[in-house]
Amino acid sequence: MAKHVLAIVLAGGAGSRLRPLTDDRAKPAVPFGGHFRLIDFALSNIVNSGYLRIVVLTQYKSHSLDRHITKTWRMSTLLGNYVAPVPAQQRRGEHWYQGSADAIYQSLNTIEDERPDYVVIVGADNIYRMDFSQMVDHHIASGLPCTVAGIRQPLELSPSFGVIKSENGRVTEFLEKPETTEGLPDDPNSFLASMGNYVFTTEALVKALREDAQNPDSNHDMGGDLVPWFVKNGGCGVYDFIDNVVPGSTERDCNYWRDVGTLDAFYDANMDLISVHPIFNLYNLEWPTLTQIQGHLPPAKFVYSETSRLGHALDSFISPGVIISGGEIIHSILSPGVYVHSWARILDSVVMDGCRIGRNAIVSKAILDKNVIVEDGAEVGVDLDYDRERGLTVTESGITVVPKGYVIKKKA
């Protein structure tokens, strides 16, 4: 008999560390890699794993995210499949989600209505490929009610992650961001970090959520409270991401996983896509990353062939609907509808939908949110002190981030 699995995507976070990109949208709705959204990677993994009944729990500034899911992720209702965005509904009291576990508790009706045997719970803001069906099979074979996915990380990164310690496949400790930790028996320089992906046997999950909801000392968080509850009761197993085999993956990209929780990490993950031999390969058609491209957009266009005004792009992603009119694009990602005028230069940058880059303008090591206008002769990402003076965000690594609809004027 086929396993009955419901997938739940936690997509209600504010993403404050990604501001200004999250000033007007939920973090999972942030554009990524040209024409994708962050949530497309989680949903693609679930669908490619064969799970076609999916609930997306939303809360923070969810309009953009809800619209994307509704327009893009449509399933055959004839077969009972769906991707359903579910907003915070205050079903369990007059309060919004108080944590990731509380989000699921408040949405228990989605589990009760579907009545699955197992529940897969994933986050919506990491870039990776994973076949969740292999994790579900591991979970069933273990006989444990809870399974946590872990990924190997260098020891020096332990203060940034939840650390999983285990014996014989059973989690013995779940430590939240310890200063130091021990290495793995088979890999002394690495530890297992929680990926924020879980599989639960439904009955055990519902019981744990109800007990957690009644605990006044709980923060109602999946990693901070619910999983430690299972660990304390000896019911939590671990699934090592290194054992996950995704069709079409290569030795170079098979264990790629990037947390894009900061602007620098978001920028780096975008740049990972456009190297000659990318460590995350979007061209894996055996495990495609799915989204919807606006059908009315024409192919990208490059015009002016004379040497002094050559419209061209190198080591870059150029999306449909882009026009490069005598400009130069180097090692950058351009989303749909971007227009680059003559003698403009875009270097090492991420440029989102609808931006306009004027003549002789320079965009260097920058992230431009949607509909930014860079006026003729203006520069951004060149003089970081000046960028800070005009109120733009500059990251620790020197990436200038321009908010939606901003106008970059030429320096006086």
**Mean pLDDT computed over 358-373:** 96
Q: What is the pLDDT of residue 95?
A: 66
Share of the chain above pLDDT 70, in %: 97
Task: Fill in the amino acid letter for 249.
Answer: S
Q: What is the pLDDT of residue 93?
A: 63
> What are 47-94's pLDDT values in tens digits?
999 999 999 998 878 788 889 888 888 887 778 888 988 887 766 666
Side chain identity at 30, as an amino acid letter? V
Mark whether 196 and 333 lie in a shared domain.
Answer: no
- 291-322: per-residue pLDDT in tens? 988 778 899 999 998 888 999 999 999 999 99
Asked if residue 160 and residue 82 are part of one domain, the reply reads yes
Angle (deg, nearest 10), helices 63-72 and 38-48: 40
The pLDDT of residue 135:
95
Average of per-residue pLDDT across 210-223: 80
Judge if 261 and 309 occupy the same domain: no
Residue 329 lies in a domain: yes
189 and 83 share a domain? yes
pLDDT of 1 above 60? no
> Hey, which of 89-93, 258-262, 377-381 has the most confident mean pLDDT?
377-381
Note whether 221 and 308 are same-domain residues: no
Q: Which of 252, 272, 292 is the last residue of a domain?
A: 272
CATH of the domain at 42: 3.90.550.10
Tell me what pLDDT residue 21 has.
Answer: 92
Note whether 192 and 307 are same-domain residues.
no
Q: Which of 218-222, 316-320, 392-396, 399-403 has the lowest mean pLDDT?
A: 218-222
Nearest CA to 297 among 323, 325, 320, 324? 320
Lowest mean pLDDT among 146-160, 187-201, 222-236, 252-266: 222-236
Kindly report which listed range (30-44, 156-170, 214-228) carries the lowest average pLDDT score.
214-228
**Are 371 and 240 in the same domain?**
no
Same domain, 305 and 263: no
Is 377 inside a domain boundary? yes
Q: What is the mean pLDDT of the chain?
A: 89
| Mean pLDDT score, 197-214 | 89
Q: Is the residue at 71 inside a domain?
A: yes
Which region among 96-110, 154-168, 282-296, 360-374 has the lowest average model confidence (pLDDT)? 96-110
Token pair listed for 54: 């999916």
Are 177 and 158 contacting, i.e. CB atoms less than 8 angstroms apart?
yes
Residues 211 and 334 in one domain: no
Extract the tokens encoding 3: 């396993």
Residue 288 included in any domain: no
Residue 293 in any domain: the answer is no
CB 248 within 8 A of CB 288: no
Residue 135 lies in a domain: yes
Supply the range of the domain harboring residue 171. 5-272
For residues 387 and 370, give the distance between their C-alpha atoms in angstroms, rounded to a whole number. Answer: 18
More confidently predicted of 218 and 44: 44
Pair (175, 35) in one structural domain: yes
The CATH number of the domain where 375 resides is what?
2.160.10.10
- Residue 47 forms part of a structural domain: yes
Q: 211-220, 293-302, 354-363: lowest mean pLDDT where?
A: 211-220
The total number of structural domains that make up the chain: 2
Residue 291 located in a structural domain: no
Q: Are 264 and 325 contained in the same domain?
A: no
The predicted pLDDT at position 197 comes to 92
Extract the runs of DSSP E, i.e. beta strands, from 36-185. Answer: 36-37, 53-58, 82-87, 118-123, 126-128, 146-154, 162-167, 170-176
User: What band does 139 get if pLDDT is binned at 50, 70 and 90?
Assistant: very high
Same-domain status, 183 and 50: yes
Among candidate residues 35, 56, 33, the one with its CA nearest the CA of residue 258: 33
- Give the end of a domain, one of 253, 272, 291: 272
The type of residue at 119 is V
